[in-house]
Structure 1
Amino acid sequence: MALRTILVSDVPSLPESVYGLSDQGLDLSKSKPFRLPGFSVIGHRGNGMNVLQSSDRRTRGFKENSILSFNSAAKFPIDFIEFDVQVTKDDYPVIFHDDFIYSEENGIVNESRVTDLSLSEFLLYGPQREAEKIGKTLMRKSKDGNVLKWDVDLDDCLCTLQEAFERVEQSLGFNIELKFDDHTVYEREFLVNVLRSVLQVVFDYGKDRPVIFSTFQPDAAKLVRELQSAYPVYFLTDAGNTIYNDDRRNSLEEAIKVCLEGKLQGIVSEVKGVFRNPSAISKIKESNLSLLTYGKLNNVGEAVYMQYVMGIEGVIVDYVEEITESVTVMMIRPSSSPLPSPPSNDDVAITRPEFSQKEIDFLLKLLSQLIQH
């Protein structure tokens, strides 16, 4: 994909009138208290991301990033759901992961950038709210470049951020990933406009729901922290698993710098990056930053437990049911947690094993070696 540039310029700073949030009824002087509730389990795109043509039914049970998927995940003892937010050209925050949306008409595949669509155009894709209406066939590009029909067992309409606040179980926290194209260079003023649109919805409809912001875009991460102090902001990093032109995205050390410079609250790292570089955990803690992880390894109960031992504060997972069960059985949650009690057995007492620092160092070294390839 060619690099797409939006009015590249060096804007030193913007006046108060450009931000304009307080002028629209937002009280940014009040900071809501926030802390992660023990070891947090976070549902990825709701009840898990979709994988096209997968033989694993868990990857296509519910349409990802949908109200149906969110409320399905809420049936399990999780703390947050993670989902992706973009802003349409008419300034409506919508929930969708991919930069481009695809549809087929008369055998021809059509491609549109999500942020180039109006809200009404975006909502025409997939199932429609009105039973008598037929939406555009929703397609998706696979990793190998093929555009395929987006099939799931239980489908749902595309939705907006406002609808998520209004229709998702109120006790469930939101980890809002602010999505931006990796191949686009954004002007500061453009980012401010996008973030204002998102923040307006969050402040209007968030009520007392726990909210975390996260993004891979370092400038957007700093800006959303600058624009408000009510909700924590985490910087997302692939931690070197993929190399980007922006060096700030290529390591945990750079992620720490971004957080300290922008006064962010934490880091969300690809889990393999943490296992390869476990010494970064102590540096993150010394910097008074929180650490969460994402990635396929988080669908393995033993890998999740190892992170708990290492002091990581939460995991973003696809297999919500399986991992919440593992977390319960492994006694990761404190006794005051709303999790159901694990099955009792008079002959077996389930306790958390105690590891010495030497044993932990050995396990971390072993994990680092196991995932080198």
Structure 2
Amino acid sequence: MARPRHLQFSASGSPNPCAPTPPAPYYYRRRRLHLSHHRLSIATMAQLKAARVADVPTLDVVAPGLVEAATATKRGGPAAAGGGRFSVIGHRGKGMNALASPDRRMQEVRENTVRSFNDAARFPVDYVEFDVQVTKDGCPIIFHDNFIYTEENGNISQKRVTDLQLAEFLRYGPQNEQGKGGKPLLRKMKDGRVVNWNVQTDDALCTLQEAFENVNPRLGFNVELKFDDNLEYQEEELTRILQAILKARDL
């Protein structure tokens, strides 16, 4: 019997706009939910630093303060002296796409795709992190941005990812079916520019189900649930989103 895949869940954005905001610089929107034996616990991420796995062939030595050990006793006491094993998580797979970066490695493979996740598996990575949203017809898909862009008849088209049906979402970018072309995929930069989302190694957009079925089973999944800071989510909508995600593998 295959070993069960390790899972972690987190949520980014503000699904609860009424929640109090701690004073800066101690406010972090991202929270991590650890799923273990059907029991959930929440821990605010206190620190976030990253290094390219390809640049760190061995991770036996970790700089002090780089990561907060997660080896506290079951009673909530302090972690054992010496910390615990350092877990390495591939951000959006092998790495996020920074299209404005002069470092070509940041455009090496399309982020949040099965290809990127499996490429990350070639390195000493324990988990791959990726972003999950739910389409209008209730399918969990893997995509980071709130909006997806393409060019149609010379005009830039913008659509909210969660307003799309699954079939429409999958028509963006390269297609799995040989000889079939998809809509050109563009991305909005932080400075407002919309540019071609070009990478050296491309792959089709995918669903959460496809990740479970096609990604190296050695890897755990750190699943980030994406919420838009500019939207107020009702309890019914949050329930619909969470149920769709948990049903992806009968979690």
Normalising by the smaller structure, the TM-score range is: 0.5 to 0.7
Question: Taking structure 1 as reference, are residues 29 and 50 closer, same or farther at Cα in structure 2, changes over 3 Å only?
Answer: closer
Structure 1 residue 94 and structure 2 residue 141: aligned?
Answer: yes
Identity score, percent: 57
Tell me the TM-score normalised to structure 2 length. 0.67
Q: Report the 3-state secondary structure (helix = DSSP H, G, I; strand = E; otherwise coil) of the residue aligned with 1:162.
A: helix
The partner residue of 2:177 within 121, 126, 130 is 130
Q: Report the 3-state secondary structure (helix = DSSP H, G, I; strand = E; otherwise coil) of the residue aligned with 1:196.
A: helix
Counterparts of 2:200 and 2:37, CA distance in 1: 43
Structure 1 residue 48 and structure 2 residue 48: aligned?
Answer: no
The partner residue of 2:114 within 62, 67, 82 is 67
Q: Report the 3-state secondary structure (helix = DSSP H, G, I; strand = E; otherwise coil) of the residue aligned with 2:95.
A: coil
The partner residue of 2:187 within 140, 148, 165 is 140
The partner residue of 2:249 within 172, 178, 202 is 202
1:131 is displaced (CA, Å) by: 1.7
* Within-5 A mapping of 1:317-332: none
Tell me the TM-score normalised to structure 1 length. 0.46
Name the one with the larger strand percent. Answer: 2
The partner residue of 2:160 within 113, 116, 129 is 113
The partner residue of 1:181 within 225, 228, 231 is 228
* Within-5 A mapping of 1:199-348: 199-203=246-250
Counterparts of 1:90 and 1:184, CA distance in 2: 19
Question: Taking structure 1 as reference, are residues 109 and 31 closer, same or farther at Cα in structure 2, changes over 3 Å only?
Answer: same
Query: Quick check: which has more Rg, 1 or 2?
Result: 1
Note the residue ranges of structure 1 that are not aligned, 5 or more in a row: 1-5, 9-27, 205-373
1:73-116 C-alpha deviation (Å, 9 max, x unpaired): 00001110000000000000000000000000121000000000
Greater alpha carbon shift after TM alignment, 116-125 vs 53-62: 53-62
1:15-40 C-alpha deviation (Å, 9 max, x unpaired): xxxxxxxxxxxxx9953899777111
Question: Taking structure 1 as reference, are residues 146 and 77 closer, same or farther at Cα in structure 2, changes over 3 Å only?
Answer: same
Question: Taking structure 1 as reference, are residues 33 and 111 closer, same or farther at Cα in structure 2, changes over 3 Å only?
Answer: closer
**2:151 equivalent in structure 1:** 104
Between the two structures, name the one with larger relative contact order (CA 8 Å, sep ≥ 6): 2
Matching residue's letter, 2:38: S
- The size of the alignment, in residue pairs, is 180
Structure 1 residue 58 and structure 2 residue 65: aligned?
Answer: no
Matching residue's letter, 2:100: Q
Counterparts of 1:115 and 1:164, CA distance in 2: 19
**1:78 equivalent in structure 2:** 125
The partner residue of 2:207 within 160, 179, 194 is 160
Matching residue's letter, 1:91: G
Question: Taking structure 1 as reference, are residues 33 and 170 closer, same or farther at Cα in structure 2, changes over 3 Å only?
Answer: farther
Note the residue ranges of structure 2 that are not aligned, 5 or more in a row: 1-14, 18-34, 42-69, 72-83
Matching residue's letter, 1:113: R
1:58 is displaced (CA, Å) by: 1.5
1:176 is displaced (CA, Å) by: 0.1
1:203 is displaced (CA, Å) by: 2.3
Counterparts of 2:236 and 2:217, CA distance in 1: 33
1:53 is displaced (CA, Å) by: 3.2
Question: Taking structure 1 as reference, are residues 74 and 187 closer, same or farther at Cα in structure 2, changes over 3 Å only?
Answer: same
**1:150 equivalent in structure 2:** 197
Question: Taking structure 1 as reference, are residues 33 and 136 closer, same or farther at Cα in structure 2, changes over 3 Å only?
Answer: closer
Counterparts of 1:65 and 1:138, CA distance in 2: 14
Name the one with the larger helix percent. Answer: 1
Question: Taking structure 1 as reference, are residues 185 and 135 closer, same or farther at Cα in structure 2, changes over 3 Å only?
Answer: same
Counterparts of 2:152 and 2:39, CA distance in 1: 48
Displaced runs of 4 or more, over 6 A? 32-37
1:21-79 C-alpha deviation (Å, 9 max, x unpaired): xxxxxxx9953899777111100000000011321011100100000000000000111
Counterparts of 2:245 and 2:40, CA distance in 1: 20
1:153 is displaced (CA, Å) by: 0.3
1:238-274 C-alpha deviation (Å, 9 max, x unpaired): xxxxxxxxxxxxxxxxxxxxxxxxxxxxxxxxxxxxx
Matching residue's letter, 1:114: V
